[in-house]
Amino acid sequence: MKESKQLLLANKAWAAELTDDDPQFFRRQAAGQKPEFLWIGCSDSRVSPEQKTQSLPGRMFIHRNIANLVCPEDLNLMSVLQYAVDVLEVPNIIVCGHYGCGGIKATLDGGVTGPVDRWLDRARDVLADHRDEIEAQSTPEAKVNRLVEVNVRDQLVKLARTDTVQAAFAAGRNLTLHGWVYDIRDGLLKPLMKINRTTDLADIARPERVLLTTEELEAEVA
Ligand code: ZN
């Protein structure tokens, strides 16, 4: 069977199952949205946010791009952010990176061209700012994974400095920014840091290093 036809059949089964469990579900969906989260994550096919958090439609407003980068000049993300904060009034924004990120690996190793190469300039800025710590990691895998972590930190701080978030903080809004990383090796989300309106943005440490090599992870599980 063609893959696209499989998607349509799976969709029918999914909608039928949801309606069986909750006959009014789609009627409520049609009435409007009030999501609890804005999720900013990587486009990687392995890191779909709703599946890994068992979230039904309506819970998350979502923006994804390669390497979960926050750029004030990115009209796409800035409009998503404005709508989520000002109109939907989400109380939480999550910036989620993931270990083994291809965009972060390319930032370290090169080998990309065209728009991807230009896009990754923002991640190269992160590498330049944390080069000593990245280069001090023991393996290529650990270098990628530590850059994933400090990239989440830097993008979260950039997010906190945007006009939209600064205005929400100044208005006393209950808005929390969360920096998380997802581990594609065990399926688990790991919180790294938080920012709210009381946080001093000039004094944000790098997040604690988590388990960056597969050997460390296996030793932890054993
Ligand atoms: Zn990625």
**Centroid of ligand 1 to alpha carbon of 202 (angstroms):** 27
Token pair belonging to 198: 């009381």
Catalytic site includes residue 131: no
Return mean pLDDT, the chain. 95
**Centroid of ligand 1 to alpha carbon of 44 (angstroms):** 5
165 and 188: one domain? yes
Q: What is the domain extent for residue 11?
A: 1-32
- Are residues 85 and 159 in contact, defined by beta-carbon separation less than 8 angstroms? no
88 and 174: one domain? yes
* CATH number for 54: 3.40.1050.10
- Are residues 201 and 161 in contact, defined by beta-carbon separation less than 8 angstroms? yes
Catalytic site includes residue 22: no
Mean pLDDT of 94-121: 97
How far apart (Å, rounded) are the C-alpha atoms in residues 96 and 41? 5
123 and 45: one domain? yes
**Centroid of ligand 1 to alpha carbon of 129 (angstroms):** 20
Q: Which residues does 192 contact at the CB level (< 8 Å), separation at least 6?
A: 149, 152, 153, 179, 180, 181, 207, 208, 210
Say whether pTM exceeds 0.75. yes
116 and 136: one domain? yes
**Centroid of ligand 1 to alpha carbon of 66 (angstroms):** 6
Of 42, 63, 96, 153, catalytic: 42
**Centroid of ligand 1 to alpha carbon of 83 (angstroms):** 24
Q: Is 53 left (phi over 0), alpha (psi -120 to 50) or beta?
A: alpha
How far apart (Å, rounded) are the C-alpha atoms in residues 138 and 136? 6
- The per-residue pLDDT for 149 is 97
1 and 111: one domain? no
- The per-residue pLDDT for 141 is 96
Catalytic site includes residue 42: yes
Whether residue 221 has pLDDT greater than 80:
no
Whether residue 217 has pLDDT greater than 90:
no
Q: How many degrees, rounded to 5, is the angle at CA 63 between CA 57 and CA 68?
A: 130
Query: Residue 166, SS3?
Result: helix
85 and 11: one domain? no
**Centroid of ligand 1 to alpha carbon of 7 (angstroms):** 24
Of 22, 27, 28, 46, catalytic: 46
**Centroid of ligand 1 to alpha carbon of 148 (angstroms):** 9
Of 101, 122, 153, 178, catalytic: 101
Of 63, 98, 130, 146, catalytic: 98
Q: Considering only CA atoms, which of 204, 189, 182, 8 is closest in space to residue 97?
A: 182
**What are the CA-CA distances from residue 174 to residues 85, 103, 119, 162, 204 (Å)?**
11, 32, 32, 16, 20
134 and 147: one domain? yes
Catalytic site includes residue 101: yes
41 and 145: one domain? yes
23 and 58: one domain? no
CA 117 and chain centroid, separation: 20
Q: Considering only CA atoms, which of 98, 75, 89 is closest in space to residue 38?
A: 89
**Centroid of ligand 1 to alpha carbon of 97 (angstroms):** 7
92-98 and 37-42 strand pairing: parallel
Catalytic site includes residue 44: yes
Structural domains of the chain, count? 2
Give alpha helix (H) positions in 57-213: 75-82, 102-109, 114-119, 121-129, 131-135, 140-160, 163-170
Whether residue 166 has pLDDT greater than 90:
yes
Digit-coded pLDDT (tens) for 37-94: 999 999 999 999 999 999 999 999 999 999 999 999 999 999 999 999 999 999 999 9
- Are residues 99 and 75 in contact, defined by beta-carbon separation less than 8 angstroms? no
- The per-residue pLDDT for 198 is 95
